[in-house]
Amino acid sequence: MGLRAFIDRRIAPHFHEGGRLHRFYVFYEMFDTMLYSPASTTRGPTHVRDGIDLKRVMMTVWLCALPALFFGLYNTGYQANLQITQFGYSPIPGWRSELVAALTGFDHLSLAANLLHGAVYYVPIFIVTYLGGFIWEGLFAWKRGHEVNEGFFVTGILFTLILPPTIPLWQVFLGISFGVVVGKEVFGGTGKNFLNPALVGRAFLFFAYPAQMSGDVWTAVDGFTGATPLALAAAGELDFSVGLGANAAAAAGVDLSWMQTALGGIQGSIGETSTVLIALAGLVLAATKIASWRIMLSMLLGMMFLATVFNWIGSQTNPMFAMPWYWHLTLGGFAFGLVYMATDPVSASMTNAGKWVFGALIGMMTVLIRVVNPAFPEGVMLAILFGNLCAPLIDHFVVQANIRRRQRRLREASDGH
């Protein structure tokens, strides 16, 4: 008996109408559609049929996030193993360090050792995120009497990739709970939220627990205080012509040339470091029309414009004024936000003209926050949330402008007759 047949014969009857677990059908349906496509399909002639439905859109985004995920596993392990094997740091005490020692021995920097070390930190974050998210999604769907939407598949994977690897698991649960409940469900669920739920959850953690989100928490070793390259740039320790200063590079034991930051072998959130892999995913999402190329291009152009303006202005006291646009692109979460976050079709602008304004606003806002506020070198998260707030207003003005143009053409046509 296959799995499909076993579910249909032994499990499903308990959750369907008349079954003793009927009231919990929404939870059964949630896990059933994770494994198989829904059995019910539209049949009436009034329905529009398309090969790209919500489930396929979400799965495509999910698959496009896998390169950043696997590189994040490798880089998390590499950064930790480098400090352990070459510089004598100790792993963070706890069950993770014991498990990593048993799996890798901390004695080499092989691909397998780095992946295993990274997985020991990432997999618990992944499990807690999806467990917490599905609990809240299921509870709201149960209360409202509708099925669980697939939207959380993408929200969950993106949320795990914008966290530092050393974040406590209870904070992961709080963050995803806040993002799902306050960022989406209180507004009606998927398709009705005006903010990106993953970023709402991260923003909550950032302001509620800044020490675990913005301190030197990027490497899974005990006593190592390596800051992210973006934080080093804000502190004036990054020479944009050659990369990290010699003393800082020697202390960190890493190469921080621009090419290294583009490839991703640097400190940072789990999935945000490799600009190259993120860019490749962006090309796939744009080619499949799942993500808006207008938003991505305008966000990049907006960032380039304002970064160049600040380069021209210059500053004797703020080193961030000198950061070229191509360093803004590879440091922090700009590339990740450009490809995965700003292009969220629910919380972004809907009109084509509005997408250009929306993307440019986020790009410029990111640079403005990074440069003008030295205490907060990373600005992508707040810039995208600000853009989400402005998206309905942007679309409103675009629609009104279109209405005025059509009314003017009608008047001109009427006067011509």
Distance CA 156, CA 13 (A): 30
Residues 6 or more apart whose Cβ sits within 8 Å of residue 347: 193, 194, 195, 196, 388, 391
Distance CA 348, CA 384 (A): 9
Instruction: State which residues of the chain have pLDDT below 70.
Output: 1, 22-55, 106-108, 147-150, 215, 225-226, 242-255, 374, 416-417
pLDDT in tens, 27-72: 666 666 655 555 565 555 555 555 555 667 778 898 999 999 999 9
DSSP of 178-195, one letter per residue? HHHHTTTGGGTSTTT-SS
- Residue ranges per domain, the chain? 3-35, 54-222, 231-404
Distance CA 189, CA 200 (A): 14
pLDDT in tens, 202-216: 999 999 998 888 767
Distance CA 325, CA 256 (A): 16
Residues 6 or more apart whose Cβ sits within 8 Å of residue 289: none
**Cα of 67 vs its chain's centroid, Å:** 13
Distance CA 185, CA 386 (A): 20
CA atoms within 13 A on the CB side of 356: 3
pTM above 0.95, yes or no: no
Q: Which pair of tokens denotes residue 158?
A: 């993106």
